[in-house]
Amino acid sequence: MDLEHARRIAVEAALAAGSTLRESVPGAAAARPKGTSGDVVTDLDLAAEKLIVERLRAEFPAHRIVAEESGVHAGSAAESPDGPRGDGAAGGEWTWLVDPLDGTNNVAIGLPAYVVGLALCAGSRPVVGVVHEPVSGHTWSAVRDAGALGPAGPLTGPPRRDLPHGPVLGWTQGHGVSRRDPAARSLRMTMEVRARRVLQLWAPLLCWAMLARGDIDGMIGYHAEGLDLPAGALLAREAGVEIRGFDGVPFEASAEGPAEDRSFVAAPPTLVGDLLDLVAEARRLAPALPPM
């Protein structure tokens, strides 16, 4: 499998979907509820997803596709990443993860903070990631162990900077996390105390791109959504960001498994220890929080 070719195809698909979104989002879009957790969907999600899925299917007919709105699209054959053309995990298959509009809740209220995201996974491991921001026209992409690219070329790592007033941090949590969840409440409260600013963008992939290019200093995720996690985490990792689970162990982003396995801190290596300390403090405080 030529991963650089896959990256180029994914970038082209994201650009095409982004063009459709940009032309159709002059203001707020009509949204419909999706599920019971407060998420929404628009016709724009569906149109962009259809375009991406059709492009991926035409180029990679054997690959499985998991799309945000339409679910699983089985491949025409089982082409295994560990086969003669592959380089992935044993027993796996090539799977594309497609988030056609990450930030639908923002678009629904007329806020132009959204991106298109795609990841190619070998088994459960992301090997290609693409994030495209239609508003700016900028695209970020990565191939595992081959680095990350931005609009101006290779991403050489988040810049090191002094943080006298604390870091600027991004926060993401899964749709299934209750407002009453004491761990989530304690994490957010501790972040507000320790950070200069906390961003909750409702578009995690946008947050990952900001981290990869050095616009924010770190990111904390709690029971994060699985579909958009691999693309963003791979992009940040290849840009020099370190990602660890709350237990301090290196974190491998995967869309599989329970949400409880998708809690992490992400930051330049010099800041990861501080974020793990923040998480530890939040865990100590959580049992003492009054119930809601």
Query: What is the spatial distance between Cα 120 and Cα 50, in angstroms, rounded to a whole number?
Result: 17
Which H helix or E strand runs over 13? helix 3-24
Q: What is the pLDDT of residues 259-279, one digit of tens each?
A: 999 999 999 999 999 999 999
Class of domain 3-154: alpha beta
CA distances to 8, 122, 255 from 106, in Å: 28, 31, 23
Residues 6+ apart with CB under 8 A from 291: 180
Which stretches of the chain drop beneath a pLDDT of 70? 26-30, 35-38, 77-92, 160
> In 3-state terms, what secondary structure has residue 251?
coil
**Stated pTM of the model:** 0.91
For domain 168-288, is the CATH number 3.40.50.2300? no
**What values do phi and psi take at 148, rounded to 5?**
-120, 150
- Cβ atoms of 88 and 82 closer than 8 Å: yes
pLDDT one-digit tens code per residue, 190-236: 999 999 999 999 999 999 999 999 999 999 999 999 999 999 999 99
Tell me whether residue 222 is exposed, middle or buried, using C-beta atoms within 10 angstroms of its C-beta: 0 to 12, 13 to 18, 19 or more.
Answer: buried
Name the residue ranges covered by the structural domains of the chain.
Answer: 3-154, 168-288
